[in-house]
């Protein structure tokens, strides 16, 4: 007796599972985008390339910390290993794989002054282009500011290096 009562209920459940109620495949405009190009294909812009004002930094305590080097000269760094920077009250140490680079830094009035120390540490390999660009950017830096995204950007002579806290 219960069986005849379940037939209409089962029919309703089957209608609810029909193909007409299932989601249609995405139209060409809804398809997921192709995977992003790699750095070898096309350099990507780092957040620092967007034209936004930064807030000047002129106090030592605003710089001291551990950072990830995210970009140089407006381009994102995309290497198989991370590049880090440690800043204390007088020095900057950049580590990229087996290479360590270092600078002393200080403020002269409101201008930033950096002086590279030679050599720090190296495993004997040539510097990668990204590492060379970091050296150039730190060597020419005369100003420093905090970006709207919370990064710290060293700038000077048309070069820049962008750091984010770790």
Count other Cβ atoms within 10 Å, centred on residue 99. 19
Structural domain containing residue 157: 47-165
pLDDT at 14: 42
Residue 147 placed within a domain: yes
pLDDT at 96: 96
d(CA 44, CA 57): 27
Q: Which of 54, 60, 66, 84 is nearest to 154 (CA)?
A: 54
In whole angstroms, what separates CA 110 from the centre of its chain?
27
Residue 104 placed within a domain: yes
pLDDT at 16: 47
CB-CB contact of 69 with 94 (8 Å): yes
Residue 108 placed within a domain: yes
Task: Note the pTM of the prediction, 2 decimals.
Answer: 0.68
Residue 137 placed within a domain: yes
Q: How many domains does the chain have?
A: 1
pLDDT per 10-residue tile (average), the chain, 166 residues:
46 44 45 43 44 77 96 97 97 95 93 88 89 97 96 97 96
Residue 98 placed within a domain: yes
pLDDT at 123: 87
Residue 153: which CATH number?
A: 2.40.128.270
């Amino acid at each position: 007796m219960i069986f005849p009562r379940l037939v209409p209920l089962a029919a309703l459940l089957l209608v609810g599972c029909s193909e007409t109620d299932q989601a249609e495949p995405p139209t060409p405009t809804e398809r997921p985008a192709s995977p992003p190009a790699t750095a070898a294909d096309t350099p990507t812009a780092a957040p620092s390339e967007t034209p936004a004002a930064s807030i000047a930094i002129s106090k030592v305590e605003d710089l001291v910390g551990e950072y990830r080097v995210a970009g140089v000269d407006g381009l994102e760094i995309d290497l198989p290993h991370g590049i880090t920077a440690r800043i204390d009250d007088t020095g900057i140490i950049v580590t990229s794989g087996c290479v360590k680079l270092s600078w002393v830094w200080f403020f002269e009035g409101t201008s930033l002054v950096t002086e590279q120390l030679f050599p720090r540490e190296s495993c004997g390999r040539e510097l990668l282009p990204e590492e060379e660009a970091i050296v150039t950017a730190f060597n020419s830096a005369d100003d420093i500011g905090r970006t709207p995204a919370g990064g710290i950007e060293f700038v000077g002579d048309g070069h820049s290096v962008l750091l984010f806290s770790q």
